[in-house]
Each structure stands twice: as structure tokens, then as C-alpha cells.
Structure 1
């Protein structure tokens, strides 16, 4: 079977995966771009509540891939997991479309309204858990081992992610974020159609093109499970459907517990409400015990694992600030940014600003790859922790730009270029941190703990998203003062300076640790 576009080109299966991932990211980021506006403008949720719910939703979206990856590796294989996850995500969007079509009628029944909304989010979280971890792992299976085309292949695939991430907020914002709350339903519909296109593309092209260099299908049910009887043997059975629905129900329950702060309990004289961060803490401790209780670990392996834990801690500071894009920075784009373009007589939808990050990735990723290559040839390339420290510093500079833009209390709204400049700096920071961190975990993790240590990375992202929601809830309204660890914020300048200090201090500390971390990485020169 000829699956290649030429002797030195890439397998056509890569472009099938590119299109599949592009439409899925169109769906996810398109829906995410309007989510906070739907909650505050249509459902009339208070900003702190909407921010906290947003953080819970995005945090759980990084946790369920641990479940989806586990089930795929042992029972369903990548292919079936992608199709099932994609169908659940599409169904979630259409459910939210139906809900958004009747949200006004449901305002008289807030309990039912919240249940339907949370159900849509819960199904989306469950579906994402099975789609997200399985498609990227199939890219490498299209190539022979040690194939030099593999790194460029992941670059092409990464472009698919960002093309979808750019188009989703643009299209969904255009049709849904119009200023009329009744139009949000069209954004959910557009996202659902995008997700269906993703599933259809994969379903009807996978057998012909998603194959190994020898022409054998990849991502199928693991051979060791063929013929064995088990609860999840048939991915499309009633039992598997019930399992997915149960996972969705757990996600819905966790959203209630996190956003509505139910249940709460007393610790001494202090009332503590359950949230997802507690779940993350327990999971982190369990993984810590599982790994370090292994007596076969060598000294070098222990040191490398400690490096992974340390850099994962620092990425929490990065993503908790970076993910303000879908929360507090969305409020800022909507209320404090002059989005009117006079010569076009057009007001830019606020959700369009969430397309900037992906657009800048497409523009600047080749430049950063070239910079590291240039420095590497001259033996001047910083090590991975140093690159990540640079990423945190660029993030801090981005918030410093926007803080300077709002420093004048008499200025009603700021020019769009302030927000655009901030997103450019944030994207440069992401390019220094995100792909570098993923590569670091893959390189340093002992084979027998590769999945568990990747789980640590995902958990750091989940914790960061939960924290992002909590920090966004501190976004100060006019005349209001909010507080964080003794720091008072009564203006947007105060609020954005919180992230400048947080990311800046984390950057300096990580930079001071880079030489020591480099020794513990034990990388060959």
C-alpha cells in the first residue's frame, strides 16, 4: 500500500491526523473562547463564580486524559478511543447548543439550568479525555524507528493544533460573540460541526492511511487483549457507553463540588470547601509514593525524576497566568479594550483575541526553532530549565506591558495593540516553555515510569488551570478591592502586577537553579 507522498515526504496518514486534530482543536478552543462570555452575559453568573467554574472545567480537561490514555493502552486502542471521545465531544456541543437556545426559558428554573449546563461540560470533559492523549501518540507510529522525519512530522502536527486553535475562536466568536446573548448558541453549533468533521475525517480515512511503514494499521486494540473477556472488551458496547456516561457524571459532580463549593467541612475553626485542587494533591502524593517506593531506582534516575517534579512545579506559575486568556483577560478584552476599527466600521468580537496565541505560534515557531539551532551550533544553547525560565520571564513582561497600558486611571479603554503585544510576548514564552518541557519529561523519565511522569506534567497543567480560575475570580470591579496572600488589588494595574511579580520571581528562582538542575539531568554533551 502506498501511503507516502514521496520517498522523502511524509506519510499521508500524517495529514489525516493533522486534519483530525485541527478540527478537534477548532471545536475545543472555539467553545472555550466564548465560554466565559456565555456564563456572564447569558447565564448571568457573577464573574468570580464563572471564573472558578472555568478553572474547574479546564483543569478537569487536563485530568481525564490520564483515564483515556490508560483505557486506550490496555483495552480500546487509539483508534476506537479517538472516535468515542470525538463523538462525546460533538454530542456535548449539540447539547450545549440546545441548552443555549432555551437558556432564557430556563432562567425560571436555575437548578435545572445549571444541571443541563454542567452536564454539557461534563460530557465534553469525558470526551476530551479519550481524544486528547491518543491522537498525538499515533504520529510516531507512522514512521520507522530513528526516522529523521519524525521531528518535522511533529512540527507539522503542531501546526494543525494551532491552525484549529486560530480558526475556532475566530469563527465561533464571529457567529456567537455578537453582543446578543441569544447568539451564543451558534458558537456551540459551529464547534459541534467542527468536531463532527474531525470524527468523519478520521473514521473514513484511518484504514487507508493510518498505517505503519509496513502497511499495518496502527492504534488498534492491543494484541494482548485480543480474545480476552473483560468489562470493556467492545468499545461500542452498552457497558462501554455506561462507563463513558459514568465518567461524565463524575466530571459533573466534581464541577458542582468545585464551583458551588459543595461539600464543605470544618478544619478546626476554619470552614474549608472541597475543590479539585484537593483531588490533585491526593493524586500527586499517590504518584510520588508509587515512584519513590521503587527500590530499583538508580541514583541518576532519582535525580532526573526530581528535576521533572521541580520543573513541573514551575510550570504551574506559567500556565496559571497564561490561562487568564480565557478568563480575566476575556473580561478585559470585552470591557477595557477599544475594539472599534473606524475605517472598517467594525467592532472586533472580544473572543477573537484568543486566536492571537495560535496565530503567533504558527508565525514564530520556526523562528524559535532556528534560534535554538543557531545557538546549539555555537555551543551557546541554554539548557531546558534555562529556556523555561526565559519563558516565565517573557510571560511576566507580557503582563508588564498590559499593566503599563492600564496604569492611567483616567483612561477609559486601551488600544488593541496593548493586548496584541501582550499575547505576542506570552506566545514567545510558551514556545520557550511548553515544547521544551514536554521534551524534557520524555527524555528524563525512566521507561517504566514514563506514563506516570507524563501524568505529573498533565497534573501540573490541571493545577495551573484550577489556580487560573481562582486568580481570575480576583479581577477587581470598579470600586472593589480583592486580596491575594495579603496583596490588595483595587485596580487593573494592581491585578496585572500580581502576575508580573508571580511569573518574574518564579523565573529568577528557576534561572538560579538551572546549573544545579543541569547536573542532575545527566545529559551527555
Structure 2
């Protein structure tokens, strides 16, 4: 407890702001797939595609938001406008659910709402995460714990949101979905009021200067001038070369992905951006050799993180359908809403996030704490074990028989242990390895891997077994839930093994950053 009290007060404003904003996001997400299938009457495959496109783009736009914050707006302004756009998006979703008798209007409002939510999240998500690092001096040992506390705030909102929005919207009556969206919209407005009224009281650097006002690129320029640090500069010839490389790479990737995903422009855009923007940063002539090496570490780990989130994000799609259709949710005669399962994971996160900083501290004092890459490999392994656990529950299951609630609960608990080992540690790692002038942008690139993973997750959700349909993946036939869950056991297990083998090499490339 004393360790938690030692953090700057600004961390707890960020904690509360993130709690409110994540309530908005996860409240809407908890009922979204059900809204698509039960109110707007999309089939499961189409609904999974829309869901995957939405969650993928939610994690793609932080790249743009991070760039704007670093170059022009600064963090505080980005957080304000991001929250404003998200509020508009939630109220458009409310209006969509209020006009179900007019399908065309309901669909149009839904797509408009998703657009505002995507753009707003792009401005909010990378900046609020980058703000945590500015509260501490470089090299501060408390940073991993700070991001774990920040992550706890995210999950307090994630825990409450499905319970409240699910209770209001997931009633079995399609007309009630609008109340869940309305609750999310109101909480977004609360986020704006909280941050705007408290930011000038608590957001200060260790030396007492206000943070989040001046864009990161301008702040680093001022710091470099004071310390007489000179970065390499790009001449016109180098800039032209980079423009040609990026242009040709973009054309080649779009051509390839158009062939691989004909007509799916969301997938084409996300997968192209996932390669082009990281290359663009590496081509920046101001990077030193050590900075470029550290950025490579971020990219390599981000690649493996794709496999984690592609499996983990089944929670909002295929696992919600599994909870709704094939899980016995009856408790003492009362049937729990399927959307409530999405509160299990954040509840476990809150409990474990309180414990894990102490665990890392205990291991650190004994010089046994694993490095960041190893922690993330452990996260992937636990994810694989979570799906292996539920495989035992569904193996040889007789059609029409529902499984015990224990199996999904166990899966979410094991997945949460993996998430705590991977996600907050990843945020801290990005903050420590990124040059200051690219702080929000690199956070956006980190989230870009999650964008790719979410779109990939939507595609994998489309493999969810349906009666009368034969589905395959690379020749592997998926006819039962056991077949479906084994896809994630194998995928995340192999990714974990490879990352374990690479961990020592990645530690050397970090050049002393722990």
C-alpha cells in the first residue's frame, strides 16, 4: 500500500479519467455484437466483420492522434477533443437504437456513431497513456507500477460498464439497447468535465512544471537546445528518397492486400498502415543508432502482441456468442445476461493489478524479475493455457447441452493473468524506449498492433461454428467449439515459444533500458 501512496497525485486523475472513458467504450462494446445480431438483424459472420472493423479502426486512429498531439495540439487538447468526439458517437448510437423501425436510418446512424467513436478514441487513447510517463523522471523504477495502476483504472471502468450497460440494454427486448448506449454517452460527458476541471490542479512534472500543454516535439527541441544535444538531420535528397520508398511500399502493400482481401477496404487500410507507418518512423533521419535499435524492439514485440490480442479480443465477439448460446448462465433460478461475462476479466484485472506491482518488486529485490520481453512471452503462454482450459469443457460436448459457467470463468481468470504480464508492461516499455519527440506517436504505433489484432480477431470470430456451415482455416476444419478454441491454443502457444527464444537478444537491443 505504501508503494501505491508514493505516486504523484496526477496519476490518480489519469486513473479516474481513464476509468470514466473506458466505461464508455466497454459499455458500448459489451452490447454491440448483440445489438448487431438481435436489433439490426445482421448474421453472425457479418456482425463479426463489422465488430472487427470497428475495434480494429479504434486502435488504428491512435497513430494519427499521437502524431497530432506530438506535433501540434499537445496532450491536454487531444484528450478534450477526443472525448468530445466520443460523446457525439455514443449519442448517435443511442439515436440508431431509437429508430429500429427504420432500418436504413438506424444503419446510417450506427455507422456515423462508429465513425465519431473511432476518431475520438484516436485522439484520446495514445495521449492519456503517454501522459503517465511525463509524471516521472526518466529511469524512475516506479514506472512499471504506475502503468499497472493506470491499467487498473482502465479496468475499473471496464468492469462496471458491462454490468450497467448490459443490465439496461441486454434485456431480451431489442428496443432497450438504446439505454445502454445512453449510459455510455453520459459517462463520456463526465470524463470531459472531470479532466477539464482538475487538470490544472494535478498534472505537473517532477520539477513542478505543467505537463501535456506543449507538444512533445517542441518540448524535446527545447530540452536538446538547453543540453546542446544535436540530432542528425535529413537533407532534401534523403527526404525525397524516403518519400519514394514509402510511396512504392504503400502501392505494393495495397495491391497485395487488395488481392488477399478483395473489397475489404478496412482490412486493406489497417494491414497497410501496420507496415508503412513503422517503416516511416525508422526512416526518420534524426534517429540515432541506439534510438533505432530500441524502436526495433518495440516493433518486434508489437508483432507478437498481435497474436495475443487477436485471441484475447474474442471476448467481445465469439466468446459473447458462446456465453449467450452454449453456457448455462442460471444462478439460483436467475439467468445472468451474457454481456455480464465481459465484466469478469476487468474484475480479475483490478484484483491482480493490485497484487502484481508487489510481485515485480519482490522479484526485483532478489534480482529475479524477468525483463519486459520475457514477461510478455509469459502473457502469451497464459493466454494459450486459458483456451486449453476451456477445450476440456467443450470436448465431446453433446449438441444442445450447455456447459457450466466455471469454464468461461476459468478462461477469463487465466487470460487476465496473461494480460497483466503483457499489457501494462508493454505500455511502460514503449514509454521507456521511445524518444521523447515520438512519445505519443510510438504509443499510437504500439496500438496499431492492437488494431491489426482486432481486425484479425473479427476474421477469426467468423470461424465460430454454425450449424449447416463448414468452415476451414489453412485446411483445418472447424466443426465444433473444441476445434474453434484449439486454433487459439496453437496460435498463441507458438508465438509464446518464439518470443521466449528471442528475449535475450531483445534485451541487448534495449541498450540498458530495463
TM-score past 0.5 threshold: yes
Within 5 Å, give how 1:120-519 maps onto structure 2. Answer: 120-142=113-135, 152-211=145-204, 217-220=210-213, 222=215, 267=259, 272-293=262-283, 300-342=290-332, 345-410=333-398, 412-447=401-436, 450-519=439-508
Q: 1:77·1:220 contact (CA, 8 Å) conserved in 2?
A: yes
Distance 1:223 1:466, change over 3 A: closer
Once the two structures are TM-superposed, the CA of residue 178 in structure 1 deviates from its matched residue by: 1.2
For residue 17 of structure 1, report the CA deviation from its aligned partner: 2.8
What 5-or-longer segments of structure 2 have no aligned partner? 219-254
For residues 287 and 142 of structure 1, do their structure 2 counterparts lie closer, same or farther at Cα, with a shift above 3 Å needed? closer
- Once the two structures are TM-superposed, the CA of residue 289 in structure 1 deviates from its matched residue by 3.8
The change in CA–CA distance for 1:301 and 1:148 in structure 2 (over 3 A counts) is closer
Separation in structure 1 between the aligned mates of residue 216 and residue 125 of structure 2, nearest angstrom: 23
Change (3 A) 1:474 1:150: closer
For residues 15 and 434 of structure 2, the distance between their equivalents in structure 1, rounded to whole angstroms, comes to 27
SS at match of 1:483: strand
Checking the alignment, whether the CA contact within 8 Å between 1:394 and 1:428 is kept in structure 2 is yes
- Structure 1 partner of 2:90: 93
Note the C-alpha offset of 1:114.
2.2
1:257 aligns with none
SS in structure 2 at match of 1:409: coil
Q: 1:336 to 1:362 in 2, by over 3 A?
A: same
Q: Which residue of 2 aligns with 1:231?
A: none
What's the CA shift string for 1:2-21, capped at 9, x where partnerless? Answer: xxxxxx76554443332222
State how far apart, in whole Å, the 2-side matches of 1:219 and 1:298 are.
25
1:34 to 31, 46, 69: 31
| Larger CA deviation: 20-29 vs 144-153 | 144-153
Tell me how far 1:436 sits from its aligned partner. Answer: 2.3
The aligned counterpart of 2:19 is 22
Instruction: Count residues with an aligned counterpart.
Output: 474
Distance 1:459 1:42, change over 3 A: same
Instruction: Work out the CA distance in 1 between the residues paired with 2:46 and 2:137.
Output: 50
> Shift in Å at residue 394 of structure 1?
0.7
Q: Deviations over 1:338-390 (max 9, x none)?
A: 00112xx3211111111111111111123333333333333333332222121
The verdict on how the C-alpha distance between 1:287 and 1:124 changes in structure 2, with shifts beyond 3 A counting, is closer
Pairwise CA distance, 1:296: 6.9
Q: Distance in 2 between matches of 1:93 and 1:297?
A: 40
CA positional deviation for 1:272: 2.0
Shift of 1:524: 6.9
Q: After TM superposition, what 4+ stretches of structure 1 lie above 6 angstroms from structure 2?
A: 144-149, 263-266
Q: Which has the higher contact order (CA 8 A, sep 6+)?
A: 2
In the TM superposition, residue 126 of structure 1 has moved relative to its aligned partner by: 1.1
Quickly say closer, same or farther: Cα 1:310–1:490, change in 2 above 3 A: same
Q: Quick one: structure 1 residues 297 and 68, their matched pair in 2 at CA, closer, same or farther if it must change by over 3 Å?
A: closer
SS at match of 2:472: strand
What secondary structure sits across from 1:207 in the alignment?
helix
Contact 1:479–1:490 (CA under 8 A) maintained in structure 2: no
Tell me by how many angstroms 1:143 deviates.
5.6
Secondary structure of the residue that 1:272 maps to in structure 2?
A: coil
What's the CA shift for 1:84?
A: 2.0
Q: CA deviation at 1:514?
A: 2.3
Deviations 1:325-350 (A, max 9, x none): 001001001101100112xx321111
* Inter-partner Cα distance in structure 1 for 2:466 and 2:410: 24
Matched, 1:56 2:49: no
2:41 alignment partner, SS class: coil
In structure 1, stretches of 5+ residues that fail to align are 1-7, 226-262
Structure 2 counterpart SS, 1:488: strand
